[in-house]
Structure 1
């Protein structure tokens, strides 16, 4: 599986009332990197919309190990773990660059659907090959 990674520097707007990164921000980062990864392979929203297809999240899971704080430099990586006929599991791992420790990890079960009806559709072989 090909990993796609990016660096994130925690901003003040990422912090919640408890003084660490808000739990919802992790989910936003996961979705953002999934989109960036697809765009980098030329199979993002614009490409999929041209064939009347898109991805819909069926299930998200996050395990939190440590907190991240303002100014922390993080590395977020994502990759496709598995592909079935109409579904794909994408994994995520977020690490603190300075300590090397895992902040959180997770996965999303994405379903490939027709854009106008949201009915599941078979994932094209060409699309799978781009991710793998």
Structure 2
């Protein structure tokens, strides 16, 4: 399993009216780290041939994050099946633990036709070590 992670610091514009991180911001962070992982791991030839679209997000908000806090965002691909891939993202605080966990179902598309495509071994092996 191939993990990708980064640390971020909560800024004023991340906050909502309750002075904690806005739920929409968490979704943006989930999208951002997922795309970063793809851009870092996939060779240019694969990035030119394929694109991903989101089918669904399931996000569980467990605890709030606040201004100035440093958070760890970590992602990995948990499963591939046919044309879909399940990606997990967890956002944690060093002392308070898990704040947010998401499971996102992504669909692989042919970059030219925009039609769904079975995930090839070349992509599976980049993220999960699967080669079948």
Query: Same-fold call, TM > 0.5?
Result: yes
Please give the secondary structure, in 2, of the residue aligned with 1:24.
helix
Q: Pairwise CA RMSD of aligned residues?
A: 1.4
* Contact kept? 2:54, 2:106, Cα under 8 Å: yes
Q: Which runs of 4+ in 1 moved over 3 A?
A: 46-49
Residue from 87, 105, 121 that aligns with 1:125: 121
Name 2:92's counterpart in structure 1. Answer: 95
What is the number of equivalent residue pairs in this alignment? Answer: 128
Residue from 106, 111, 114 that aligns with 2:102: 106
Name 1:50's counterpart in structure 2. Answer: 48
Please give the secondary structure, in 1, of the residue aligned with 2:27.
helix
Q: What TM-score, normalized to structure 2? A: 0.90
Name 1:2's counterpart in structure 2. Answer: 2
Q: What TM-score, normalized to structure 1? A: 0.90
Consecutive unaligned residues in structure 1, runs of 5 or more: none
Write the distance in 2 (CA, Å) between the matches of 1:60 and 1:19.
24
Please give the secondary structure, in 2, of the residue aligned with 1:111.
strand
Consecutive unaligned residues in structure 2, runs of 5 or more: none
